[in-house]
Structure 1
């Protein structure tokens, strides 16, 4: 019987040593930095998967230090290393990334990886291991069914985050020497990844119904509800895409590093599959609504893609885009229900949402200034905080001026019998805007301001007071 120290321990990388797939991650890094390279990927793939990996790796830099490593596996490997075992990294990932990971961890005696001609997966990987070790027995740590040929040729299998089906096969066909269980996932993790709480922003779709006093029109309410769902599904697809594009930045952020894809709780491959499914759901719902709504939905998606791919890294352009995306929700509500939007509503929304977008950015800059976060790919320096605060508060107070001008206009008498009551809205909105900025500058704004408002008791009181004022004005 072999001394345990004479048996090499061979370790897979994707899904095993790290809770992610380096090919998918590197592809998103490349698309984020050079979007036009997306068009070249099918051509690279036609020459083989090894060529695809090599071409991407030569152009995209991965932050291997902040990858979501399997720390339980690292502890196991460290213990085996101290016992004197030979540890080998054998992966289908490109050799550039494999060597960077090995250098960072300083655990491995040898590295086997894909080059520009051979994709080191399945039988190719087993052949490379045999070429390196000869007839020396080895144990193999991996996670996926594609690793079955290597497990079958090993002395013992080490199951890392294996699915129940893979575990059953390995238990019946191999000797399982060690198990490291899967990370928890499931429905709650997907709810977090899709950011369902952010759907609260889509309540803006109902504003045209409220402003035109059409809440008792059942067909328009149904149309607004369908628009709400379509916008929610499309927005969630964008959130998933954003997370996949921003993995490196998120892992360096004190809060965003806990997001499901950044932390490795959800496989990035599942995110890639979920995105088109959510888009399809949004498109199907939009087919039952007026064509203008579908146009607005398409504009929203194009704008969010542009924001994700580059606009969010351009100072001031980013906050103007965010304000526009908020306003598009109002326009979508009007398009879905057939209710025309007034000049006053659009002017108020752009000014108010610009203030909230700047508050969101100031919250991030506050973290930068306190040393808790890096720039995170944004186009700002921490010294911009004072300027953004001035611009944001000015935009917020301008929205109150627009509200006052609306109250003083002839248009208000079309909908309200006692319009003078609406003047009371001005101090309420002034208080709310001031509260948002006070919380932001105290460093307590940890989320989107609209999402914060939905959870904040002070904001809820303002909403109730606003509703009572509007009822009194009818």
Structure 2
């Protein structure tokens, strides 16, 4: 509990933190931050919760390392605080967030005369907060800024109620208290950030489940429907993992020039909603996987286990991270083969491993180039240093060229004659891929690459043209 001599001067404005001054919730912030460093934090949190919510908050506050300088603060509330201070008033932060974090936030903002938070034994929320404020400032001796129904207990004893992004129902309840009322912001549900959090553009990667179907020329309706079910299942599970990854990466995302705009990092979607979304998406994806059979379910569970391990651990390990990403792409192809009952060629799997290793390396190269251009020393949350950029680009070129070599060897194998009537036409694919891989590595080196090469390829006109030419050569090889 931090106090200041200025607290005794002027009218007192008590400000809540979670959902009010901060467009987030520090309990959820610290939980996911602690989990990002140690996956067993979730188990410890359940145990600690038996001692009370205040004890849980204190435990997480000591384990987490949240960067309070990048948190999504509510500018409208900060402006209100500034005007209150300009008028000679006193501003105090009174929050259910643990005192350790409340002090850090107050120090960063520098606008509070006193700071009061939960202390490990007392959870400063609702009626307990109301009693604390009345005891310290007297009945009707303060104005209070809050956002939640739990704040009604506090507003009932305040001289003025200031609601933040309150629903119409909560506004009506506040107005019924018979005190002076102000409303900052309006409560509304914007679906766009929720959709953005799913990263639907990343579902393009799941088109890989159709590759075995197309390459084996199994174009019947039943096979297509099963492949489509596999695509939907992978998209749902992948979105679950993307949400989980964003929750674990809040610090790193907020420090990134583009990723700071992601819904959870920016505070446009509550972290609690993200936690629920991850579970629901995984559950629905699992149900679809069961419908496709036990082997497909096993592949899907393997995919989820690998992606979860990547989110918690592997993404911070140099080279291992791109190896895992390559494996995840290849698992999509394996899943597609399992879904439609098509035997997978070792040529296809070998090509996939090398080709997607190259793309994963390009993604890391892009991040390092962005770091260099931004003047940062090291990629946040990664196992690379800026000087690794050249090595990563060589890895991308090397494995990319090896994938083309695998494709060239396949074209001279007996297997190709079974599926293609004009195999020489397929050599055009090698030339196109040779050009495309060289080009994206070059563009990445110049700092012109989006941090995800798949997304870049979809948006880039030349890449789309290359894709159409690859399809054209494949058709020529099959029908001519």
CA drift at 1:447: 3.4
Among candidates 251, 261, 283, match of residue 280 of structure 1: 283
CA drift at 1:214: 1.0
Summarize deviations over 1:231-288 as a string: whole Å, max 9, x none: 1111111111111111111111111111111011111111111111111110111121
Mapped partners of 1:386, 1:13: distance in 2: 44
CA drift at 1:433: 1.0
Contact 1:185 1:265 in 2 (8 A): no
Give the equivalent residue in structure 1 for 2:88: 84
TM (normalized to structure 1)? 0.96
TM (normalized to structure 2)? 0.95
Mapped partners of 1:118, 1:71: distance in 2: 29
Among candidates 347, 364, 381, match of residue 377 of structure 1: 381
CA drift at 1:446: 1.6
Summarize deviations over 1:320-362 as a string: whole Å, max 9, x none: 0111111111011111111111000000000000000000000
Among candidates 356, 360, 365, match of residue 357 of structure 1: 360
Q: CA separation of 1:183/1:440 partners in 2, compared to 1, >3 Å: closer, same or farther?
A: farther
| Partner SS, residue 181 of structure 2 | strand
Give the equivalent residue in structure 2 for 1:241: 244
Match status 1:181 vs 2:202: no
Alignment of structure 1 residues 160-171 onto 2, 5 Å = 160-171=164-175
Among candidates 39, 42, 49, match of residue 45 of structure 1: 49
Mapped partners of 2:180, 2:256: distance in 1: 38
Contact 2:146 2:163 in 1 (8 A): yes
Moved more, 411-420 or 369-378: 369-378
Contact 1:185 1:266 in 2 (8 A): no
Mapped partners of 2:201, 2:451: distance in 1: 11
Match status 1:121 vs 2:125: yes
Match status 1:391 vs 2:395: yes
CA drift at 1:135: 3.7
| Partner SS, residue 84 of structure 1 | coil
Give the equivalent residue in structure 2 for 1:152: 156
Mapped partners of 1:447, 1:459: distance in 2: 15
Give the equivalent residue in structure 2 for 1:340: 343
Summarize deviations over 1:418-474 as a string: whole Å, max 9, x none: 111111111111111112212211211123111211221111111111111111112
Summarize deviations over 1:81-105 as a string: whole Å, max 9, x none: 1111111111011010011111111
Mapped partners of 2:48, 2:335: distance in 1: 40
Mapped partners of 1:279, 1:43: distance in 2: 25
Give the equivalent residue in structure 1 for 2:218: 214
CA drift at 1:174: 4.2
Mapped partners of 2:443, 2:299: distance in 1: 33
Summarize deviations over 1:355-407 as a string: whole Å, max 9, x none: 00000000000011112555111000000011111111011111111110000
Match status 1:304 vs 2:298: no
Corresponding residue pairs, total: 469
Match status 1:63 vs 2:67: yes
Contact 2:174 2:181 in 1 (8 A): no
Match status 1:290 vs 2:285: no
Among candidates 440, 447, 458, match of residue 443 of structure 1: 447
Q: CA separation of 1:227/1:176 partners in 2, compared to 1, >3 Å: closer, same or farther?
A: farther
| Partner SS, residue 88 of structure 2 | coil
| Partner SS, residue 176 of structure 2 | helix
Mapped partners of 2:404, 2:111: distance in 1: 61
Contact 1:7 1:136 in 2 (8 A): no
Give the equivalent residue in structure 2 for 1:72: 76
Contact 1:18 1:70 in 2 (8 A): yes
Mapped partners of 1:471, 1:451: distance in 2: 25
